[in-house]
Structure 1
Amino acid sequence: MTDEDSARLGLPLLPAGQAQKEVWHNEALALLDLAVQATVEEIDRNAPPSAPEPGQCWIVGSAPSGAWSGHAGAIAGWTAGGWRFVAPRKGLSARHLSSGQAAICDGFGWKLGEVRAAQVLVDGVQIIGARGAAITVPTGGSTIDAELRACVETILIMLRKHGLISS
């Protein structure tokens, strides 16, 4: 990235007095078309496909070859003007077409299908929240019935708290 590129996506910026502004502008639009709401055919592919169609994208693997050399981890997209690349940046995301899962760049590589959340809501009802304390396992002896009842009650309370069963 240079002072002539945008900070996040490395899009070409128009310097003052730039001749042929449409070239720079069109390049930025082509890169935005790949990066915004990105969808990818494959993740960790190292060789370009033989017959890509305009608009198709891939996440380049760690050992790229051919036209993808030097673009490890990037989103590679085929356009009418050939291959374009969006460099991997922490937080960049893409949807993997065949699985429907999100791929997120963590700054070191791409993670497919990981979901991070403080809570999960379904129809406004919390289903999963923060992990609760461990439940004591009954140990036996003369109070086994009371211990078992307390253990089952604690399990039921936690299942209700997480919305997995109704109250």
Structure 2
Amino acid sequence: MPVAEIHLIEGYSDTEKTRLGRAVTDAIRFVVPAAPEAITVMLHERKPGQYMRGGTHRSPAPALPDPALIVRQYLDAMEARDLDAARAFLADGFTMTFPGAAPMTTLDALIAWSKPRYAFVRKSYDGTEAFQGAEGAVVYTRGTLSGEWPDGTAFEGIRFIDRFEVTGGKITRQDVWNDIAEVKEHP
């Protein structure tokens, strides 16, 4: 029965503290073969006046936004073709790579590349996983695609996996894997 105690400066919301507790639980489970209900996480908060580092009272840093939520909001904006909203989630230097394409750096390039491939695509999600990587968060989404080919024929059930890197609350990279080419070639 692992027990983790964390000391924080007051200032984080209950939602942020819940995210932290779940992340610590998941980190423990990555190493220790314990069921979630066997892991205890205790958060101890201190008033800023009760905390010093380097002889100076400190305030808590703002919590990072949930990277899985950032990715889903971006993908929802893309599906709705709200490109301005989608662009707001992207960092300077953003790159994306899709099957059979060179890396792209703008949503306009993606739209131009995809136009002869399909009229539109919708995603159904089977899961989203997020974890801390070396430079920022890594988020995977997976599920199936449905939509319409350029000739108006419907398609569905095409597998996909998207991998995102999120740093400082912005998406820096997107890598996409899917079976569109295989399904289109052999319907």
Give yes or no for TM over 0.5: no
Q: Which has the larger radius of gyration?
A: 1
Structure with the higher helix share, 1 or 2 = 2
Length-normalised TM-score, structure 1: 0.23
TM-score (norm 2): 0.22
Higher relative contact order (CA 8 A, sep 6+): 2
